[in-house]
Structure 1
Amino acid sequence: MDSSRNYQKTVLDNLPCSLPTRDIPEDIDPCSISQVFSTRLAHLSDNEFTQDAIWRDMFSLSGTLRSFYSAKVILPTWRLLCQRRKTTAFKLRLETAFVNRKGADVAWIEVSFNFTIGLPLAASCSGYLCLVPNREGEWKIWVMGTILDQLPAEYGDIDQLDPVESSGSDLHINDTARNNPVKVIGKSRPTHQQTLQQHFDCIIVGAGQSGLCTAGRLQALGVSYICIDSNNEVGDSWRLRYDSSKIHTTRESSHLPFETTFTSDYPEWLTKDDLADAFKIWGDRYGITSHIWLSTTLESGSWDESTKRYTLKLRKRQPGSGQSDLVTVTSSHVVMAIGINSQVPKFPDYANKSEFQGTVMHSRDYKNSLNWKGKHGVVVGTANTGHDIAEDMVKAGLASVTIVQRSKTYVIPQTEYQKWAKTQYNLETDMKSSDIKCFAYPNVLSRKLGLLRNRSLYATRPNLYFELKRAGFLLEQDDDLTRHLCERLGGHYMDIGASKKIADGLIKIKAGSPPVSYTPTGLLFADGTHLKADVLVFATGFLGNMRDIVRRIFVDEVADRAGDCWGVDDEGEIKGVFKPTGQPGLWYIGGAISHARFFSRFIAMQIKAALEGKSFPVFDANEQEVSSRL
C-alpha cells in the first residue's frame, strides 16, 4: 500500500448528506415548533420534507436496516410501508424536543415519537425527527428515524430478564425462562446427555460479548437455545488475549444487557480480566451459563430447505482427558457470533522468510514481551494492537522497538474521545436511550458529524500530534471513527499512551517504504534500508469475513446466500450483520460490546417473530423501485 497516497473517498463520503447550517436562535422554543408535526406523522406529505431528507428504518417498517435518500424516495416508501404494516397511534413526545447543536454552525431541532404496527404482529416502535428551517423559515423534516422497540407483551420484554436464584444445586428462573423447553441444569458446564432434547429454536456459535448478549435477549423472550464456545470458560474470549489488552472504549459504554455491569469502582478503561470476570458473573447471574456448552466446536452443518432446519455436528471435548464426543443437534436458527473476520491471521508475503533467524509471530499468538529483554523488536501494523504490543516491548526493556507503518493511520486522542463518549454514555442516561443516541442516526450522518468534530479539533489545536508527525508518523487527520467502525471494524489507534512514546523516540517509526524481504537479521525495505530485528510481530489483522467460516461449515450455496459480513453497502448500511441475511435463519452479529448489546435485541425479536410464524417481511430494493413510481 502506498503510504503517500491521497485519502480516497468512501461509500459514506459519496452518499448525499449535508449538515444544516442555518442559524437557530438560542431563545427558540423547540416544543412549540415540534408540535406542528403532532398531527402530521400519520399523513406525511411532500411539504413536510427537505428535498435532501434521509430516513433510516431499523427493523420497524422495512424488516431490516435501510436508509432512504431524498423526499421523492422517502414519501412513497413511507406511505406504502405504513399501509402494509398497519401503523397507528403516532404520538410526538414533545417533552423530548431540544435544539441539537454541533459546534458553532450546525444545529437542528430533534424530537422523539412513538407508534405501533399491526402487521406482521402487533409491536411498539419509536422514532425521531430532525427539523431544520428553510429559507422562508418553514420547518421541515431533514432526518427521520424509525426503530422497532418491543414485541407484544405476551412474548416477553426484550429489555428485562430476572436474575436466577441459587438454592443448592437448583436454579430458579423467571417465568419466561421457565417456559423454555430447554432444561436448565444447576451446573456451569452441562453435557449433551443432560438436556431433554436435541432440537433448539436457536443455536448461537460463540460465547463472547455478541453470543452472550444474544443469549440473554433470546432468554428474555422465552426462545430455546444453546450457545457453544470452543473455550473452556465463559470470558476466555477476553481473558486469553495478550496480557496488556484492555478495552479502548469507556466503562459506561461497556455494560451487558439488563443491568449496570460495571460499577464506578472499575477503571474507566476496562482490562481484559475485568471483562472476562464480568462476563462469567453476568452469565451465572441470569442463568445463561447453564445454556452454554463450553469446550465445544462446530465441525459441520447442513440446511434442509424442506423442513427449514439446520443440522449441526458439534465436537464436545472433555477437558483434561483428551477425549471428545460428536453430538448432532438441530435448530431453526443459527447465530454466528464468532467475530466478524475469519480469524485467519493475515501475514504479508515478503520474500526469503526462511532466512530470518529470529522469532516471527502474528498478534493473535502474542502474550507479552517479557522473554525478549535486550532484543530488537519490530511490530508491523499501526492499529490498536500494534501500538499496544510496541508499548509492551518498551516496558519489557527491549534494546529497540520499531513500528513499521505501511499507510497513514487515524489516531484518536483518548481524552477527546472520552469527552464525546460521555455525551453518549453517562450515569444520567439509561442504557437503551444511550444506544439509540449512538446507533440510530444514518451512518452517513454519523460520518459527517465525526468529520466535523475531527476538523474542529485540529482547527482549535493545530499543534496536536506535531511531535508525533515530526517523529515520522504518517498521521491521517481527515478521517473519523464511523468510517473505521462501519467499513473496516478497526484500523485506527485510540491513543492511550504510545503516541507520546513515539514522539519521545522510545518507539521508532519506519514509514514511507514497504518491506520487501526478510534477511537473516531483520527486514529489507524497498528504499534499500535495513531494519534489525530479533522479534517480528505482525499486527496486520485477519483475512476474509464471517461468510468464509459459513462457507467452511456449510455448503457454498448457504454462504453465497448469506453474503458478506461487514463493510458498507450502497445505502451506507453495514453488510449482512444484525439483520436477515439471504440465507433463512442464519444471522451474523459482532463488533464492540455496545454493538452486541444494542443489536442483539433486534436479532432476538426477529427470531421470536419468525418462530411465531410472523416474520418481518424484508422490504428490498426491487419493491422500493416500484414504490417510488406510486
Structure 2
Amino acid sequence: MATTPSNQPYSTNPLDCLPGKLPQAQIPDGVDLQAGPNTIADKFPHLAADDFTDDAIWRDTYGLTGTMRTFYSSDRISTTWSILSKSRGVSSAVKIVPNSAKIIRLHEEASWLECRFTFQTKYPETECSAILHLVPVAGGIWKIWVLRTILEQISGHGNVDSLAPCIPQTDSSMHVEQESISSSGESHFHAVIIGGGQSGLSTGGRLQALGVSYVILEKNEEVGAAWGLRYNSAKLHTVREYAHLPFDRTFGSELGEYLGKEELAAGHKKWAKKYGINISLSTTLESGTWDIDRQLYTLSIKRNGATLRITAKHVVFATGAGSQVPLIPEWPDKHQFSGILMHSQNYKSAVGWKGKRGIVVGTANTAHDVADDMLEAGMAVTMIQRSRTFVLPVEYIASRYHLLYNENIPTEISDRTMFSNPISISRLLSAQAFHPMAKAQPERWEALEQVGFKVNPYGDIQEAINIKLGGHYIDVGTSAKISKGYIKVKSDALVERYTQSGLAFTDGTKIDADVIVLATGFDGNLRNDVERIFGKAVADCAGDCFGINEEGEVLGAFRVLQQPGLWYLGGALGHARYYSRFIALSIKADELGIPFPVHSDYSRNTVV
C-alpha cells in the first residue's frame, strides 16, 4: 500500500553540514531604514567582530578574495576582513545605493533589513558592490547577519556588462577587431573558449566587451545548435525572463513563457550576429599541451578537414555541466535486445512509433519529457524509476522567479540577488518558499505514490543543481499523466538484464518494449574533458568540477583553479550569464598585468 510522503529528507544531504540559519528577529514597522546602513557604511573598511552576529556569513565573489569564498562566524569573518581590506585597499568612500534599504519579512519570526553599498579597492583598482542583511540587537544596534561582496568592474578598463551591437557600432571605445584563426601557421589569442553554447557565448561576449582577444571553438555547424539539436519537444522549465544572454533581453515578450529549443537556438544565433561574436564553427579540439615555462597552452584543432594550431594564455572549458558524455548503465545481454536502444542524447522524436511500446529509464526532467512525447505519439510507455525523485511543480518555481526576473528589474540586478547568496542561506530560503506549497497539496503526492512513483516533494533545489547536476523533475504536467495511469511506472525492483523483447528485473518480472531510451544523465565533471585534451597531470592540477567543498562553494566551476589559466563554466542559463563576467574580468586583469590576488586554500578543493 502506498504511503503519504514524509516532509523529512530522504537521504543525507552534504549541504546539511554547512553553518547557516535564518535570523530570529522581529523588526517593527516604521523603523529608521537608514540608521543601521549609515553606521555600517562609516566603519565599512574597518569592520570588526562586534559588527557581525555570532553566526554571520560572508560570501565574496571575486571582490576581495580574487575568487569565490564563504566565511562563517564573526571571529573568522572579522579576521579575514581585516587582512583583505588592508591588502586590497578598501576605500572609505563607501556609498549606500539610494532607496536600496528595505525590510525583508520571511514570516512573523524572521525578518531583516537589506541594503546595498558600492565601494572601491586600490590594489588593483576595482569597483565593487555589497549586499548586506542587518538584524537588530539589544540597545538599538544593527549587526550584519549576511554580507555579500561582489566584483563589478576593473576601474577604467571597460564595462563587462555592456557591449554595443556590432552594426551599427554606437560605441567603439572598447571595440577590438577580433582576429580569425589563420588557415596556415599558428594563431594566438589571449583566451580560447571551448564550446559555443550559452556558457561559451556569454564568456566570449564579455571578453569582447573588455577588449580581450578571444575565439570560441564550436563543433557544430551553426550557433544555437547546442539547443537546436536536442530532442524535438525540449523546452525550458524556467521562465523566459531568466533565459537571456548578457547585455540585452535576448527573448522578447512576444515569445511564450517557456521557450522551446528552436526559439532558444534562434535567439542565440541572432545574439551572436548582433554583437559580432568571434566563433569558429565546425571546429573540434583534438589535443593540447601546457608549457609551464611560457605559461602557454597550445591547441591542435580540426576545421574543414585541416589541422591548425592555436596558442592562448587562458582556456575556458564551456562545454556545459553535462559535458555531453552520456552515462550508460552496463546491464548484461544488451546484444540480445531486438528493438531500438538509445541514450536520450540521441533521442529526437517518437513520431512514427504509434502503437509501439516504449521504456524510459530515469525519472528526471529529460525522462519525463521523453515519456510524455512517447505518450502523445500514441505509444504505451513505462518509466523505470531507480531512486526516489524530487518533483518541483513549475508553478512553485515560476512564482518565485517572477518576483525576481521580470521586465521591471534589470537582469544584472536580479542575477546578483539570485547568485551571490551563501548556498546554505539560499537553500533555507528555497525551502521556506517551496515546502509550504508542497505541504498544502498532499493529494498530489499521494496520487503519484499510489501508482508506484516514489516522490520526494520536499527536496533541495540547491543540492539538485550544484551536487547532483539534476535528477529532479520540474513538473510541467507529466506528473498528472503518471498519476492517472497514462504513463506506467516500475519502481519496486532494479533492472537485471536485457531480454530479446525488453528488460528483466530483480523481482523476476519482465517488461516488453520496442524502444528503450536511457535517460540516465551525463558525466558532469569537466575535469574529464581536460584530461582527454591536456593529459592527467593538468587535469589533476585543475581538479574536479561540480559538487561542493567545505565552505559550500561549488568545486571548480566559476572559480580560480590551481592550474593557471584554465577555467570551468557550465550550468543553467543564469549560471552562464552571471559567472562568465567574473571569468572575463579575471582574464582581463591578467592581460593588464594586474591579476587579482587570490585568497584561497586549495586543500579545500575536495568534494564534501
* TM-score, normalised by the number of residues in structure 1: 0.91
Deviates more, 1:522-531 or 1:46-55: 522-531
1:193 equivalent among 183, 186, 191: 183
Match of 1:214 in 2: 203
- 1:305 pairs with 2:295: no
- Structure 1 CA distance for aligned equivalents of residues 522 and 173 of structure 2: 40
Q: Could you say which residue in structure 2 is the equivalent of 1:422?
A: 402
Q: 1:259 and 2:259 equivalent?
A: no
Partner of 1:101: 105
What letter matches 2:401 in structure 1? A
1:186 corresponds in structure 2 to none
Q: 1:338 Cα shift?
A: 0.8
Cα separation, 2, equivalents of 1:622 and 1:518: 45
Where does 1:156-305 land on structure 2 (aligned, <5 Å)? Answer: 156-165=158-167, 174-176=171-173, 178-180=175-177, 182-183=178-179, 192-193=182-183, 198-288=187-277, 291-305=278-292
Deviation at 1:106, TM superposition (A): 2.4
Match in the other structure for 1:333: 314
Instruction: After TM superposition, give the deviation of residue 544 of structure 1 in Å.
Output: 5.2
Higher deviation after alignment, 265-274 or 472-481: 472-481
- Work out the CA distance in 2 between the residues paired with 1:262 and 1:36: 42
Aligned to 1:321: none
2:562 corresponds to 1:582: yes
Deviates more, 1:32-41 or 1:4-13: 4-13
- Do structure 1's residue 68 and structure 2's residue 84 form an aligned pair? no
Letter in 1 for 2:229: L
Q: For 1:336 and 1:37, how far apart are their aligned partners in 2?
A: 40
- Give the structure 2 partner of residue 113 of structure 1: 117
2:410 maps to amino acid: D
1:187 corresponds to: none
> Per the alignment, in what secondary structure is the counterpart of residue 160 of structure 2?
coil
Matches within 5 A, 1:449-488: 449-488=429-468
Q: Which amino acid aligns with 1:566?
A: F
SS in 1 for 2:555: coil
Q: Are the aligned partners of 1:94 and 1:111 in contact in 2 as well (CA < 8 Å)? A: no
User: Conserved in 2, the CA contact under 8 Å of 1:358 and 1:521?
Assistant: yes
Counterpart amino acid of residue 31 in structure 1: Q
CA distance in 2, matches of 1:165, 1:138: 54
1:515–1:526 contact (8 Å) kept in structure 2: yes
**Equivalent position to 2:87, from 81, 84, 97:** 84
Which residue does the alignment assign to 1:46?
49
**1:31 touches 1:95 (CA, 8 Å); kept in 2?**
no
What is the letter of the counterpart of residue 294 of structure 2? T
Kindly tell me: are residues 26 and 334 of structure 1, through their superposed partners in 2, closer, same or farther at Cα, counting changes over 3 Å? same
515-524 or 96-105, which deviates more? 96-105
Verify the 8 A CA contact 1:37 1:92 in the aligned structure 2: no
Instruction: Report what 1:557 is aligned to.
Output: 537
Structure 1 runs (4+) greater than 4 angstroms displaced: 3-6
Conserved 8 A contact 1:567-1:575: yes
Deviations for 1:220-273, whole angstroms, at most 9, x for unmatched residues?
A: 000001111100011111100000000111100111111111111011000100
Determine if contact 1:562/1:583 at 8 Å carries over to the other structure.
yes
How far did residue 177 of structure 1 move? 5.3
Q: Which amino acid aligns with 2:312?
A: S
Partner of 2:483: 503
Instruction: Specify every segment of 5 or more residues in structure 2 that has no aligned partner in the other structure, as ranges.
Output: none
| Worse overlay, 612-621 or 205-214 | 612-621
Distance change (3 Å), C-alpha of 1:584 and 1:360: same
**Residue in structure 2 matched with residue 320 of structure 1 by the alignment:** none
The answer to whether the 8 A contact 1:387-1:493 is kept is yes
Contact 2:26 2:108 in 1 (8 A): no
CA gap of 1:375–1:619, structure 2 versus 1, over 3 A, is: same
Partner in structure 1 of residue 381 of structure 2: 401
Q: Secondary structure at the match of 2:34?
A: helix
Counterpart amino acid of 2:253?
A: S
Residue by residue, what CA displacement relative to the aligned partner does 1:267-297 show, whole Å, maximum 9, x if unpaired? 1000100010011111111111xx1110000
Q: CA deviation at 1:623?
A: 11
Task: Name the stretch that deviates more: 506-515 or 235-244.
Answer: 506-515
Cα separation, partners in 2 of 1:146 and 1:331, compared to 1, 3 Å: same
Contact 2:390 2:472 in 1 (8 A): yes
Alpha-carbon deviation of 1:11?
2.4
State the shift of 1:469 in Å: 2.3
The one-letter amino acid paired with 2:47 is L
- Kept in 1: contact 2:375–2:487 (CA 8 A): yes
Distance 1:45 1:364, change over 3 A: same
The CA distance in 1 between the partners of 2:347 and 2:437, in whole Å, is 35
* Helix, strand or coil at the partner of 2:145: strand
- 1:19-30 alignment runs, 5 A limit: 19-30=22-33
Matched to 2:452, the amino acid is G
Q: How does 1:504-523 map to 2 (within 5 A)?
A: 504-523=484-503
Which residue of structure 2 aligns with residue 610 of structure 1?
590
Task: From 309, 317, 325, give the equivalent of 1:344.
Answer: 325
Q: Structure 2 CA distance, aligned partners of 1:173 and 1:131?
A: 42
Alignment-derived partner of residue 343 in structure 2: 362
Q: Which residue identity does 2:284 align to in structure 1?
A: T
Q: Which runs of 5+ in 1 are unaligned?
A: 167-171, 184-189, 318-323, 625-630
> Percent identical across equivalent pairs?
43
Counterparts in 2 of 1:348 and 1:449: CA distance versus 1, 3 Å: same
Counterpart of 2:17 in structure 1 is 14
In structure 2, the CA distance between the partners of 1:623 and 1:9, relative to structure 1 (3 Å rule), is closer
**What is the deviation of 1:403?**
0.6
Rounded to whole Å, the distance in 2 between the matches of 1:278 and 1:93 is 33
Q: Give the whole-Å Cα distance in 1 for the aligned partners of 2:413 and 2:256.
A: 23
Amino acid corresponding to residue 239 of structure 2 in structure 1: T
Structure 1 residue 314 corresponds to structure 2 residue 301: yes
Cα-to-partner distance string for 1:530-588 (whole Å, 9 max, x where unaligned): 21211110000123511001001002111011111111111111111112111101111
Contact 1:97–1:110 (Cα < 8 Å) also in 2: yes
3-state DSSP class of the match of 2:215? strand
- Aligned residue for 1:238, secondary structure, equals helix
C-alpha distance in structure 2 between counterparts of 1:533 and 1:129, whole Å: 56
Q: Residues 135-187 of structure 1: CA distance to partner in whole angstroms, max 9, x if unpaired?
A: 6664211110100001122x211111111127xxxxx685245444x34xxxx
Report the CA distance shift for 1:191/1:149 in structure 2 as closer, same or farther (over 3 A).
closer
Preserved CA contact (<8 Å) 2:15 2:424: yes
**Aligned residues, how many?**
598
- For residues 602 and 228 of structure 1, the distance between their equivalents in structure 2, rounded to whole angstroms, comes to 20
Q: TM-score, normalised by structure 2?
A: 0.95
Is the Cα contact below 8 Å between 1:11 and 1:572 reproduced in 2? no
2: distance between equivalents of 1:137 and 1:514?
A: 60
SS at match of 1:500: helix
Q: Quick check: 1:176–1:220 contact (8 Å CA) kept in 2?
A: no
Q: Note the C-alpha offset of 1:94.
A: 5.5
Structure 1 pair 45/178, CA: closer, same or farther in 2 (3 Å)? closer
CA 1:145/1:178 → structure 2, altered by over 3 Å: closer, same or farther? closer
> Take 2:516 and 2:9, find their aligned partners in 1: how far apart are those partners?
29
Q: 1:447 to 1:312 in 2, by over 3 A?
A: same
The aligned counterpart of 1:353 is 334
**Separation in structure 2 between the aligned mates of residue 396 and residue 623 of structure 1, nearest angstrom:** 52
Alpha-carbon distance change, 483 to 97 in structure 1, aligned in 2, over 3 angstroms: same
RMSD: 2.0
